[in-house]
Amino acid sequence: MYYPRSFLKFILLGFLLVSLPLVYALAELILSLDRLQVQGQHAVQEAAEAGRASRQLFEQAVTLERVVRQYLILEDPALLEDYARLRQDFRQTAGQLALLPLAPDQLKALEDLTDTESRLHQLLNAPQRPADTQLQLADGYARLADGAQSTLAATNSLTERAIQRLQEIGSEGRQKWLYLTAATVAIALALAILFAVLIARPIRQLDQAIRQMGTADFTHPIEVNGPQDLRYLGQRLEWLRSRLHDLEEQQNRFLRHVSHELKTPLTAVREGTELLRDRVGGELSREQQEIVRIVRQNCLQLQKLIEDLLRYHQTRAMEPQALGPVSLPEVIHRVTREHKLAALARMITFEAQLHPVVVNGDGERIRTIVDNLISNAIKYSPRAGVIALNLEVDEGCAVLEVSDEGHGVSPEERERIFESFYQGKPPAEGRVKGSGLGLAIAREYALAHDGRIEARDRRDGKRGATFSLRLPMGGVGTATVAQTLPVPGAPTTVAASE
């Protein structure tokens, strides 16, 4: 497809091509109206000329009859001179009528009328006339006047035919214009759709490229077709994508290198604290044991932060690998058992309503998703709070809801909390320690399984937040009766349902 050098020129070209059928239709309308006007004027002139000539012919025929009757009575030669002059005008008027577009029968009647006048003229000028000549002349000129009167009626029909012809021309023009309008609109609409598609395609490619970079997808090259200025813009976006891709790779290499360099001395520090904690170097006083405990706790916290950072930067380039059936109730049971000490330390209890649901996916990554959701609920739950776990099947998807009794998530933060390094509003007990990557990692893993995570208010209207995880079943079967799972550190409430 040929594109002009400039996008503006391409738009102007499209406007011009779309306007051409409309301009042609307008020009055709003007020409048709002009032709109709000319034909109407010509028809009106012919009708007026025919009416004038026919009236004049009738008056001249009546005058000829009167002059002949006077001559037959008075025998005055001067009347013959008047007759000759009137006869010349009569034949001239008849000739003018013969030039008009009369009907064939009307032309024949006009020709018979002139022939009759010629015979009567010969009879009038005959040197020797029979005895009944006067009667023949009187009757003949009377019939001549009647014939001229019938010619007047015929010219009136000519006017009616002219009006009818104008009506026919107008009807043909309307029908022609209907076809021309339909064809013009169809052509203009087809051209408009064509140019709309051709104009929208490079804009859509630019939009897709911007969205692609907005989602941090720098692996697919950007190509924009269209006018030269838009292609140049696409090339600049491709350059930007390449630069961002290189910078992201450099960032990942730097983080891997720094994390590795940090883990090596951190491991040594942790091993040293473990040896001191086990009293390998001798007995420790109570103050020394407290120092060792603080150092060990911070080493564990730092190690978790480093692992979260590495895991987050691996999520974008990785797809689920070890796919297979995963029992979500078993995963939840294992995760709650791992968080038993943290829950008991804050006197947090669990209420679980779990159906035996099995999904197809990467077991370790699904465990990470559940672990991040439950650990987030523990962090933001008040002391002696209750965390509700509900697992069920909805429209072919496994749905896990984790509800806490914290301060909840405001509507303007419900999308931002899934961004990397973003931490929501701290609870009343103070700021929660964390990297701000847990929910971001959970969402990345859920998207990798064609699922999704969202935050909302609790269904029961109580204070707190609910995080809903939805994963497709992937064709693996599911039971319909809820089962009781022992959740460590808390009583479990189970409801049977179908």
Q: Which domains does the chain have, with CATH numbers?
A: 7-193 (1.20.1440.210), 228-314 (1.10.287), 322-472 (3.30.565.10)
- Taking the complete model, does pTM exceed 0.75, yes or no? no
pLDDT exceeds 80 at position 420: no
- What pLDDT is recorded for position 490? 39
What integer pLDDT is reported at residue 429 of this predicted model? 58
Output DSSP code: residue 416.
G
Q: Determine contact, residues 248/216, Cβ cutoff 8 Å.
A: yes
- Distance, in Å, from the CA atom of 300 to the CA atom of 342, rounded to the nearest integer, reads 14
Query: Is the alpha carbon torsion for 64, 70, 72, 77 positive or negative?
Result: negative
Give, to the nearest 10 degrees, the angle between helix 133-214 and helix 104-124.
Answer: 160
Binning pLDDT at 50, 70 and 90, where does residue 496 land?
very low
DSSP state of 201: H
Rounded Cα gap, residues 166 and 17, in angstroms: 35
Amino acid at 389: L
Per the prediction, the chain carries an average pLDDT of 78
CA–CA separation, 394 vs 401, rounded Å? Answer: 12
Q: Which residues does residue 402 pair with via DSSP β-bridges, in sequence order?
A: 389, 467
Q: Find the distance separating the first CA and the last CA of the chain, reported in whole Å.
A: 59
Distance (Å, whole) CA 422 – CA 420: 6
Residue type, 105: D
Q: 170-216 pLDDT, tens per residue?
A: 777 778 778 877 888 888 788 778 877 777 888 888 888 888 887 77
Answer yes or no: is pLDDT of 2 > 60: no
Better-scored residue on pLDDT, 176 or 492: 176
pLDDT tops 80 at residue 163: no
- Which of 299, 307, 306 shows the shortest CA–CA distance to 368? 307
Q: Compare 403 and 477 and report the one with higher pLDDT.
A: 403
pLDDT recorded at residue 415: 84
Residue 426 has pLDDT above 60, yes or no: yes
pLDDT, mean of residues 289-304: 81
Query: CB neighbours of 435 closer than 8 A, spacing ≥ 6?
Result: 304, 305, 308, 309, 421
pLDDT digits (tens, 9 = 90+) for 298-331: 787 787 777 776 666 665 544 555 678 999 999 9
Lowest mean pLDDT among 4-13, 103-112, 383-392: 4-13
CA atoms within 13 A on the CB side of 212: 21
Distance CA 42, CA 350 (A): 102
CA dihedral 19, 22, 23, 24 (to 10 degrees): 130
Percent of the chain with pLDDT over 70: 84
